[in-house]
């Protein structure tokens, strides 16, 4: 996305090719999906738990999850 926005389509194509090849590697296969909106992971880095962290650029969440209810409360 950055490369296209910066008017560098060749770099965008190279980055896309690299991402596709990396995600085809056996150690990364199934780690996420790569589509029209970019890469989306299937796991969480837990960055949203850092105070003020929010979600990372390839987060599996569309927004940071709210606090989970504690067992036995309520």
What pLDDT is attached to residue 49?
Answer: 85
Instruction: Domain ranges for the chain, please list them.
Output: 1-30, 32-65
36/43 Cα distance (integer angstroms): 19
For the chain, the average pLDDT equals: 81
Q: Quick one: pLDDT band at residue 7, thresholds 50, 70, 90?
A: very high
Q: Which pTM does this prediction carry?
A: 0.51
Pick the residue with more confidence: 56 or 73? 56
């Amino acid at each position: 996305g950055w490369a296209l926005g910066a008017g560098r389509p060749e770099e965008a194509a190279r980055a896309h090719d690299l991402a596709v090849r990396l995600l085809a590697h056996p150690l990364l296969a199934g780690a996420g999906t790569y589509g029209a909106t970019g890469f989306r992971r299937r796991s969480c880095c837990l960055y949203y738990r850092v105070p003020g962290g929010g979600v990372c650029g390839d987060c599996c969440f569309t927004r940071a999850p709210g606090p989970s209810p504690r067992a036995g409360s309520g």
